[in-house]
Chains A and B, each alone.
Chain A
Amino acid sequence: MDSLSQYLELYRLNREALDAHSAAPLNALRPAAFEALAGVRLPERGDEGYERTSVQDMFAADYGVNINRVNIPADVAASFKCDVPNLSTLLGVVVNDAFHPLRQLDERLPQGVTFKSLRQAAVDNPELVSAHYGSLAPLTDPAVALNTLLAQDGVFIHVERGVKLDRPLQLVNIFSAPTSLLAPRRVLVVLEDGASAQLLVCDHTQDNSTQYLASEVVEVSLGRDASLDYNHIEESSPLTTRHSQLYVAQNAGSRLSAGSITLTCGSTRNNFSIDLHGEHAECTLSGMVIASGSQHADNNVVLRHLAPRCHSNQLFKYVLDGEATGAFGGRILVTPGAQYTDAYQTNRNLLASTSARMHTKPQLEIYNDDVKCSHGATTGQLDAEALFYMRTRGIPEAEARNMLMQAFMADVIDNVGMESLRDRLRHLVEKRFNGTGALCGDCAASCREHVEK
């Protein structure tokens, strides 16, 4: 059976409850989303752009949806393991799909910055939310339509014109529920002209024995000369499925540095759809996947150069061990109007076992003569000569392998825009390869402090 129909049925039976526990700007798009889903299906493995990932299968399990907003008590403090030491952040927590405002957050936010529940923002400022909600993510994409159909809450971030945040915003997504759960999350990030912000998002799963599915749609709108660092770290569980779609619109002179770090996952698909609308827009994408066991991670980038003199640079690296599978799809489109485009894309992958598999599909479509573009993809194994060299110096094979795998990720970490995060990432990656658990563990102290106050 088509996995979509169970959700359509759910919607038909719970229309009122969905609306009642959400807000008007979100409810307004539901009928259109429902219509858009008539007669379509979610992408299957083998569809173009989905060569190795079935979104159908991701949504197929019998997940519950917390339509009536039952408050699921999550031991929030226990899950707060992802704070980055030496990085003082303005912290918000999303448990499943509900934003939990920490008491002091509002007081600590600088003038001109909103960081709150999307539902609350839609009540407080419906015009602003309506103007941006659904403006970038198209309902013609069935997964976006499904998210729009079911989303009741999420996060709203707004930075007023010219406001430059000096402290990073941090969003911790925690999965916690007694039964298997689908959380349809919606995130809106709006930086007005000249605004700048840093955002760090961490995904955690509290219970490793329950199945979770995150359906996430993020819409990011960057005004003229706005600047955003947006880094995402996933440390979930083998039973967690993540389907994330990021839509970004960049105006002239804006800058985006986005990092996507998959340290532990079950099955993950991250879509990046980035439109460079204005001249001199700059976009850097850095992706890292470390997968082992039977984990699956698929990153898919569609980057459109729609204006002249824009610059984009993508670097995605995977280390796959065990039976892990990875996929990367990267399409750069340079339209006829986008003269003097600089666009680069690199995908490098390391297979650390004989049964790990990687599928990569770099694409470059250029409808313009005056451009500098390149793309390259390689998939290989650890350098046997380097490994032998290290072993002759007495370094045990397992340690030598870990050192080489860490070294492989060094340039992706160097690409990450937030300096204090880079140090933390080096540590996390080292721990991940050493098999000492991917959870941030020892850094819990500083964020626990935030909660207990």
Chain B
Amino acid sequence: MQVDDTPTQERLQARFDRMVADEVRIEPRDWMPEGYRRTLIRQIAQHAHSEIIGMQPEGNWITRAPSLRRKAILMAKVQDEAGHGLYLYSAAETLGVDREELLDLLHSGKQKYSSIFNYPTLTWADMGAIGWLVDGAAIMNQVPLCRCSYGPYGRAMVRICKEESFHQRQGFEILHTLSHGTPAQKAMAQDAVDRFWWPSLMMFGPPDSASTHSERSMAWGIKRFSNDELRQRFVDMTVPQAEALGLTLPDPDLRWDEESGHYAFGEIDWSELDRVIRGDGPCNAQRIERRRTAHEEGAWVRESAAAYARKHAATSSAAGETAA
């Protein structure tokens, strides 16, 4: 009888590698390398935090939306984002952390969220620019995640991407209405696009030459395309849409490059992304403070609900015993 004396760890690793190579989904109960688990927790949590913090720049206009129809759409959109945050926290929980823990890491600044949400929404047109550019960039990043090797994350992304594509269309529609409206409305739309264009390109992360986690994530089937590939696809998709809107993109170097079959674009100011990630963006402090305040001011509500649930559970189990 042949005894397999390969150390267990190695056999598990080999099985995991085979599953990833064969594109078989890894599920919560499967063995996975610690680094894979940690990478996923970090990425899914950051994604969930981005949905939750991302509610703020748009929530900023709910009470001021210029028509009742727009108010209803915006409210529904912000609600979708809260829902995305919840799916994603649940996906992270399958990896052995809990939401409360992740929220503490967000509130203490130990985990990040997308830097794009550290920019202020100064006019109504920013609701259009966020939908069109920010959600557009998010979709570009997220569609490949539907095929992520980790099952719960991939499945959450399928649902999220469907809603995001609706969000992007509504953003485009806001800008289309504005750019075909009064001169003041068109100027408002152009200003919003001017402010959100470069930060949107930064959403794909640092250039491939400087991306620290990319290679390993690719090997693990978490990431499918490099930051620069996705950024290029986004530019290629967006430039014709800007033309359809009758708006310009604030990049004098932007041009069609016949040879590569892509749009060439100007140098991104990476020092700005570094600065905003470090906390020196216009709204970093404000966003976290709002989140923390909501959480702290709600503590008594959550505590009372928990006390009620305990009391109620005690009562119903006592009643159950009596009945038995």
Q: Do A and B come from one complex?
A: no
Q: Which residues of B contact A (CB under 8 A)?
A: none
